[in-house]
Amino acid sequence: MDAGTIDPTEIDWTPFALTHVEYPRGDLIGKILAIFSLMPMAIIAGFITLIMFRRDLHTITFFAGLLLNEGLNMVLKYTIRESRPMHRKTQYTEYGMPSSHSQLMWFFAMYSAFFTLFRLHRYPGKGFYYQLHKVGIILTVVTVAACVAYSRIYLMYHTWAQIGWGAVVGTLFATLWFVLTEYVFTPRFQDIAAWPICEFLLIRDTTLIPNIMWFEYTNSRQETRTRSRKLASLKTQ
């Protein structure tokens, strides 16, 4: 296509359907909910970033569950073949049962809640404030999931039933995936991390480290001090 010989007004332009979200013009609430509706893309981008820079097996397993959850949603959509409440020119898929946004968000929210409840308590906390921190995490992820789900109803992408079943399927799959991760995958993480391919890709297991951020912070400070002393001794020689 030669851009210099074609009139741009004659081209049928179309937005990228995966990120295109419509809302009523001039509706502030609709605009805010449309932004919430993009949250799954932000979560996926966040996972990819974490995996690239942290290379932790649990994060990779969590993301694998998210992808399998999406695959299950597509299978259900094209098996049930229930239409959406309103036809749109730009649509990722014409089927709406169950809602992929609702299923993804409730998978993410419930898995995060299970992790907070059943994994964080193993490590020494700081009494009431530590418990309040855990409650805050759970309330945040559940609230965001509910807002994303409601946005799909408000913007007429899904019906209540489609949103509800998406939440049910996402919750059930999150429960199953957390149990598999906790009792099947995690006990094998140390062996997996020792595989040559994992060593080559710097993939690691940090399951037994109580606070990875504090661990990395203290170790980086110690390494910096050690190297500074070595550098100072070399300069004085």
- Does residue 124 fall inside a structural domain? yes
Same domain, 121 and 190: yes
Backbone angles phi, psi at 144, to 5 degrees: -65, -40
CA atoms within 13 Å, Cβ hemisphere of 146: 6
Residue 16 pLDDT grade (very low, low, confident, very high; cuts 50, 70, 90): very low
As given in the structure block, the two tokens for residue 80 are 């049930």
Same domain, 97 and 213: no
Range of the domain at 152: 15-206
- Does residue 4 fall inside a structural domain? no
Same domain, 54 and 105: yes
Same domain, 107 and 60: yes
16 class by beta-carbon count within 10 Å (0-12 exposed, 13-18 middle, 19+ buried):
exposed
Same domain, 130 and 231: no
- Does residue 37 fall inside a structural domain? yes
pLDDT at 126 over 70: no
pLDDT at 124 over 60: no
- Does residue 213 fall inside a structural domain? yes
- Does residue 83 fall inside a structural domain? yes
Kindly tell me the sign of the dihedral angle through the C-alpha atoms of 83, 24, 160, 72.
positive
Question: 69-83, 205-219, 220-234: which range is least confident on average?
Answer: 205-219
- What is the count of structural domains for the chain? 2
Indicate the average pLDDT of the chain: 82
Residue 91 pLDDT grade (very low, low, confident, very high; cuts 50, 70, 90): low
Residue 89 pLDDT grade (very low, low, confident, very high; cuts 50, 70, 90): low
Same domain, 114 and 176: yes
pLDDT at 49 over 70: yes
Same domain, 216 and 193: no
Same domain, 127 and 191: yes
Residue 146 pLDDT grade (very low, low, confident, very high; cuts 50, 70, 90): very high
